[in-house]
Chains A and B, each alone.
Chain A
């Protein structure tokens, strides 16, 4: 622990070349928090007056209980490099002191939104991979996310202790395992070719891969060993590095290097000979308490133990020795300082990702140069509940300029549009705060390149926002974060005592703030809904809601429900017609399913209402086989004008058609939001306006006549086109040993899941199983699975796609029909669907 005053910390914050903002990302249970802890223990900055050893991350009681991280936690580390070790550092620096702002993020997929928020405000990422389990689904997900944000990664192969103690594998085998892990990671990274970011793959011989044992607090990079041996062999450090990895073999007998194994028993790979074996030897000696052998070796390695430490035995001794010899903090922090970019370096290329406005304006320039004298550009990535109930810190990163206490700032929310006053506030920052361990210290200002927490803005920011100076009216906001998970699981909550409703309302507002992903809404029936990424996520949210945000008032929650989508299977069996209330106007329509992949393209924003019509028709014609002219006749998308349904005009020569377009669009927005089956959103339906008969007098074809009619005819065409329900489906990844496979399959079968990939991890007895599982079946899945496999299988579920339910909801007694009834009942609608005859009119 490094004891600092706020002023001392503030001083280092000005050295923008000596700051590293980085997040720790990994699959769940790969040891992020443990590793972080060992870093914090060595270099964590705490306020001067706070004494004693406190765990820094995993601050919540439930995190400790469950053994997982739930909220990302930021912590600042201080590291002073020696001149000697910095000699090979080519980048810019201001002195030898480094400030590392580290964010430990959750590994469970339900909390990926926390990772997204963490990535936005960091420039580098330490990817932690379990050396036995290798690259898992969540490793891949977060890695992709990081690269998408132009975050430079370094890798650490963690849980090395398992190789030595548990698995007892020999050197060559271990090397192969590590090599595979690194390769797997590199495969993902290689897909992100980026000229600005450069090569993002990691190489042990370049020092961008570390080997660590977080639990025991030791780690090394090849740099450590190279430095050690370079003098001994009298070769260059970098040359030595290269020899310590890859196809370089050393024959201890002949003392010669070769590029392939000569076959002689004394010939071993460089890594095995010089890194793996010595560690194995020391660990072996320590574990067997052969102290007589140990002391001379330690002397040779220049390791001095304190006298009381010499009395330790077995594991404790081993831990102590290894920590002294290869301290995790040194190896990892050096790796970060050397290979991760400083804010000033990173912002040069990240500005393109970050800034929404033109890249040649002064704001872009200020971000690019990380200019502390430039205009303030600050992105608030999350809101952190403060200890006084109900208030929040706005936590974010200063990209340019300085934010100071009392400063008036422009708050641009996620819906802000430059030039408008929507979602825009000008307020003053009451206090700027930095974290020193668990304690917050108020500072006068915080310069660019650093993370900061602000007091007094929480009433104007829901989840995230861009801040600038009051006067900077031309600044565009920083791009909003894109989350990899979506809130598909929902519960309805109500308070046990009706009079607690105001508390519930207040609590929900706070909950919405505290979590980047959770969505608190209200249903048509008046029920409050909380939507989250998964069961675990919701569980945590509900707990927070009740205990922290509602002061313990009791709430009642419904069973989790999922939202469905309504679609059609075929083209309408006939052209349907509806008459307006005054019978003077008729709309003729047909529904058909959108081409495969088109709804997804609309979701991704590749096709949307704001497209240039030419480029839109090009995509539609080339990828989806649309007629070029037809593509120009799209009236609108919906629901909310951007959804994956559309209205296309197929009429020929209809008089006054333009006049009713707006009314039809309004009716369509309404109908596509609440489909005919169960008032769920529609998805993937194209409505074709076939013909229109209108009254000659404008007054008789106004909105009042056309809007309800458009809605009715849309419903009628949906019902005649074989309507179907779409249900959300998770992609589940499970890693388990062979003997657990039987259990996994039976649970998946029972839950309507199906396995589409089963791969054995090379070199391990573990299998990787990928399966699709309907979200509605996923409740309790994780616990059932654990029970069926005696705790050996742990699933990661992430929303993947919408899947059509094959049964016909119009056929009474079918599964889909039952589902429709259930949804309607829950929504307080009539259980019976409105029949087609209510919507369709006959001549």
Chain B
């Protein structure tokens, strides 16, 4: 029975049945894949029983097709709409950890799962923390703990009411935005800072600023800022938490680790990430060739974002290439050594890719705006959701009397690509012709410039390739006789046969 409730079989079946979906894609992350068959079986049974108990006259639509999707191309937190459309699905049921990013074409139903939590321990920690702190508390949580929040709220109320002497505590809870996303409706609700949405906070404030992050939403009464609150996060130290820490980096944050049942007050390692991102922004400023990684094909507005990025970078006099690449890893990105930096356009929780293994830094659209938009400065504010960027910042027109840019990576002023030149080129020629001219230019400059292999010196991919020592096929002029046959290697890549014998001997 626990299995059924964990996977919310009943609600899911209800959702499918009531909306009369016939082809349903079930999206599982890798760690839940093992349960997929049981879920399908249970769902099928439930749907069948629903249909039997329901109106009989609807017999023409006799079977609901359930399809299991695994190994999603992009982050498993996003709804894989492309995958779902392969089977012409008309809705997606998403299991496990999610970023609740809005979808663009398909309705989606989310099953967060129910991770067990020790409610009393959590409440104890929470109340202790609340008493020790003067600030009002805002409780945020991982979606897998959403099921326990009403219990916690109740338990806390009880605990605090028994403590009569306690000062008046202000504890706010964030709500789960929704468990169903419909592509048609979400645009409205995102773009209007929904004032009419029902707010059932304890504080009872109806008007105020509405915040939404990673599927959670809450209101803050007017006159209050996020910095005034102590954020209490229930959940593990995952990407959702990182998202919260970075977005609200000026607020005080504590984390209750439900698995270990303890309070973690030191989240400085997350803030160190922020500094690291600052470094990456500085580094990106020195880049000449930028690769845009399309990290999602589902999150609404991703195309707008890519266009905006392209425009921004072109205006900055730099070159862009766009790559559609699922789950970028160092080896994949290193296939494009000409790119000095990559921008990944994806949902907020998969956007932070920082590993020393990457040959070139990978930054988010927000960071790209800081790096390539002139006159913008790192203020500490951080935006993860690219949707918040689309409307907020139109690409500004660069003024003429600008100064040379100081590069902190090189510790001196550096010149940026001559923009006028770039503009002229773009007016005159397009597409393939532009490439030819770029190559020509590179040809002219070639001698004396052996450093193209150092990052950030080439201005286009063509120029980079011309700087390489290897230019493709090498024709050996001497000896016209055909090469003799050579017996190749045999065996497996992990150790060819000739290598094995060498090892043994």
Q: Which residues of A are in contact with B by a Cβ distance under 8 Å?
A: 413-414, 417, 419-425, 459-463, 498-499, 501-502, 505, 508-509, 512, 519-528, 580-584, 609-610, 640-641, 658-659, 661-663, 665-666, 669-670, 674, 693, 695-696, 702-705, 707-708, 828-829, 843
The smallest beta-carbon distance between B323 and chain A, in angstroms, is 12
A640 interface neighbour in B329, B377, B454, B503, Cβ under 8 Å: B454
| Contact (Cβ within 8 A) A498 B277 | no
Bound-complex Cα distance A509 to B377 (A) = 14
| Contact (Cβ within 8 A) A708 B413 | no
| Contact (Cβ within 8 A) B415 A423 | yes
Bound-complex Cα distance A508 to B278 (A) = 16
| Contact (Cβ within 8 A) A658 B474 | yes
Chain A residues closer than 8 Å to B468, beta-carbon distance: 662
- B253-278 with Cβ < 8 A to chain A: 272, 274-278
Let me know if B448 is at the binding interface, CB within 8 A.
yes
Known contacts: A460-B413, A522-B408, A525-B272. The answer to whether A708 contacts B330 by CB under 8 A is yes
| Contact (Cβ within 8 A) A519 B445 | no
| Contact (Cβ within 8 A) B411 A519 | yes
Chain B residues closer than 8 Å to A459, beta-carbon distance: 403-404
Let me know if B321 is at the binding interface, CB within 8 A.
no
Known contacts: A704-B334, A708-B357, A843-B503. The answer to whether A641 contacts B450 by CB under 8 A is yes
| Contact (Cβ within 8 A) A462 B412 | yes
| Contact (Cβ within 8 A) A505 B413 | no
Chain A residues closer than 8 Å to B404, beta-carbon distance: 425, 459-460
The smallest beta-carbon distance between A486 and chain B, in angstroms, is 13
Known contacts: A425-B404, A521-B408. The answer to whether A462 contacts B453 by CB under 8 A is no
Per-residue A-contact encoding for B321-360, CB less than 8 Å = 1, 0 else: 0000000011111111100000000000000000011010
New A-B pairs, 6, CB < 8 Å, besides A420-B445, A843-B495: A459-B403, A498-B380, A509-B406, A669-B455, A703-B334, A704-B336
Bound-complex Cα distance A702 to B404 (A) = 37
The smallest beta-carbon distance between B242 and chain A, in angstroms, is 15
Chain B residues closer than 8 Å to A460, beta-carbon distance: 403-404, 413
| Contact (Cβ within 8 A) B493 A584 | yes
Interface of B is mostly: loop
Chain B residues closer than 8 Å to A524, beta-carbon distance: 276, 279
| Contact (Cβ within 8 A) A662 B470 | yes
Let me know if B187 is at the binding interface, CB within 8 A.
no
| Contact (Cβ within 8 A) A424 B415 | yes
| Contact (Cβ within 8 A) B474 A704 | no
Chain A residues closer than 8 Å to B503, beta-carbon distance: 843
A sample of 9 cross-chain residue pairs with beta-carbon separation below 8 angstroms, ordered by A number, consists of: A423-B415, A502-B379, A509-B406, A526-B278, A581-B330, A610-B450, A658-B470, A659-B470, A703-B336
Chain A residues closer than 8 Å to B499, beta-carbon distance: 693, 843
Chain A residues closer than 8 Å to B336, beta-carbon distance: 703-704
The smallest beta-carbon distance between A316 and chain B, in angstroms, is 52
| Contact (Cβ within 8 A) B469 A662 | yes
Bound-complex Cα distance A498 to B249 (A) = 11
Known contacts: A524-B279, A704-B335, A708-B330. The answer to whether A583 contacts B413 by CB under 8 A is no
| Contact (Cβ within 8 A) A512 B412 | yes
Known contacts: A526-B277, A708-B334. The answer to whether A662 contacts B453 by CB under 8 A is yes
Let me know if B18 is at the binding interface, CB within 8 A.
no
| Contact (Cβ within 8 A) B337 A828 | no
Bound-complex Cα distance A670 to B337 (A) = 12
Bound-complex Cα distance A423 to B410 (A) = 13
| Contact (Cβ within 8 A) B494 A583 | yes
Bound-complex Cα distance A414 to B404 (A) = 14
Bound-complex Cα distance A460 to B403 (A) = 6
Bound-complex Cα distance A580 to B329 (A) = 13
Bound-complex Cα distance A196 to B346 (A) = 67
Bound-complex Cα distance A140 to B380 (A) = 49
Let me know if B133 is at the binding interface, CB within 8 A.
no
B282 interface neighbour in A463, A522, A696, Cβ under 8 Å: A522
Let me know if B45 is at the binding interface, CB within 8 A.
no
| Contact (Cβ within 8 A) B275 A704 | no
Known contacts: A498-B250, A499-B379, A583-B493. The answer to whether A707 contacts B277 by CB under 8 A is no
| Contact (Cβ within 8 A) A707 B334 | yes
Bound-complex Cα distance A505 to B278 (A) = 12
Chain A residues closer than 8 Å to B398, beta-carbon distance: none
A413 interface neighbour in B272, B331, B413, Cβ under 8 Å: B413
The smallest beta-carbon distance between B262 and chain A, in angstroms, is 23
| Contact (Cβ within 8 A) A463 B412 | yes
A704 interface neighbour in B333, B411, B445, B453, Cβ under 8 Å: B333
Chain B residues closer than 8 Å to A462, beta-carbon distance: 406, 412-413
| Contact (Cβ within 8 A) B380 A525 | no
The smallest beta-carbon distance between B178 and chain A, in angstroms, is 35
| Contact (Cβ within 8 A) A422 B378 | no
Per-residue A-contact encoding for B196-216, CB less than 8 Å = 1, 0 else: 000000000000000000000
Known contacts: A528-B408, A843-B500. The answer to whether A703 contacts B418 by CB under 8 A is no
Let me know if B488 is at the binding interface, CB within 8 A.
yes
Chain A residues closer than 8 Å to B454, beta-carbon distance: 640-641, 669
Bound-complex Cα distance A695 to B276 (A) = 37
Known contacts: A508-B408, A525-B272. The answer to whether A581 contacts B470 by CB under 8 A is no
Chain B residues closer than 8 Å to A828, beta-carbon distance: 272, 275-276
Bound-complex Cα distance A70 to B488 (A) = 70
Bound-complex Cα distance A509 to B337 (A) = 30
Chain B residues closer than 8 Å to A414, beta-carbon distance: 412
Chain B residues closer than 8 Å to A526, beta-carbon distance: 272, 274-279
Known contacts: A527-B275, A696-B488. The answer to whether A512 contacts B379 by CB under 8 A is no
| Contact (Cβ within 8 A) B408 A520 | yes
| Contact (Cβ within 8 A) A525 B470 | no
Bound-complex Cα distance A523 to B283 (A) = 10
Per-residue A-contact encoding for B398-420, CB less than 8 Å = 1, 0 else: 00000110101111111100100
Chain B residues closer than 8 Å to A662, beta-carbon distance: 337, 453, 468-470
| Contact (Cβ within 8 A) B335 A417 | no
The smallest beta-carbon distance between A666 and chain B, in angstroms, is 5
The smallest beta-carbon distance between A620 and chain B, in angstroms, is 19
The smallest beta-carbon distance between B502 and chain A, in angstroms, is 8
Let me know if B191 is at the binding interface, CB within 8 A.
no
- B480-505 with Cβ < 8 A to chain A: 488, 493-496, 499-500, 503
Chain B residues closer than 8 Å to A520, beta-carbon distance: 408, 411
Known contacts: A666-B359, A708-B331, A828-B272. The answer to whether A425 contacts B415 by CB under 8 A is yes
CB nearest to A418 among chain B residues = B448
Per-residue A-contact encoding for B373-386, CB less than 8 Å = 1, 0 else: 00001111000000
Let me know if B449 is at the binding interface, CB within 8 A.
yes
B493 interface neighbour in A498, A508, A582, A661, Cβ under 8 Å: A582
Chain A residues closer than 8 Å to B453, beta-carbon distance: 641, 662, 665-666, 669
Bound-complex Cα distance A708 to B494 (A) = 18
Let me know if B451 is at the binding interface, CB within 8 A.
yes
Bound-complex Cα distance A168 to B55 (A) = 124
Bound-complex Cα distance A663 to B282 (A) = 25
CB nearest to B412 among chain A residues = A462
- B109-158 with Cβ < 8 A to chain A: none
Bound-complex Cα distance A459 to B277 (A) = 27
| Contact (Cβ within 8 A) A661 B469 | yes
The smallest beta-carbon distance between B331 and chain A, in angstroms, is 4
- Which residue of B377, B408, B414 has the most chain A CB atoms within 10 A of its CB atom? B408
Known contacts: A462-B413, A527-B275. The answer to whether A512 contacts B488 by CB under 8 A is no
Chain A residues closer than 8 Å to B421, beta-carbon distance: 421
The smallest beta-carbon distance between B5 and chain A, in angstroms, is 40
Chain B residues closer than 8 Å to A702, beta-carbon distance: 335
Bound-complex Cα distance A659 to B472 (A) = 8
| Contact (Cβ within 8 A) A512 B378 | no
Chain A residues closer than 8 Å to B495, beta-carbon distance: 843
Chain B residues closer than 8 Å to A521, beta-carbon distance: 408-411
Bound-complex Cα distance A662 to B357 (A) = 18
| Contact (Cβ within 8 A) A522 B279 | yes
| Contact (Cβ within 8 A) A661 B411 | no
Chain A residues closer than 8 Å to B380, beta-carbon distance: 498-499, 501
Chain A residues closer than 8 Å to B276, beta-carbon distance: 524-526, 828
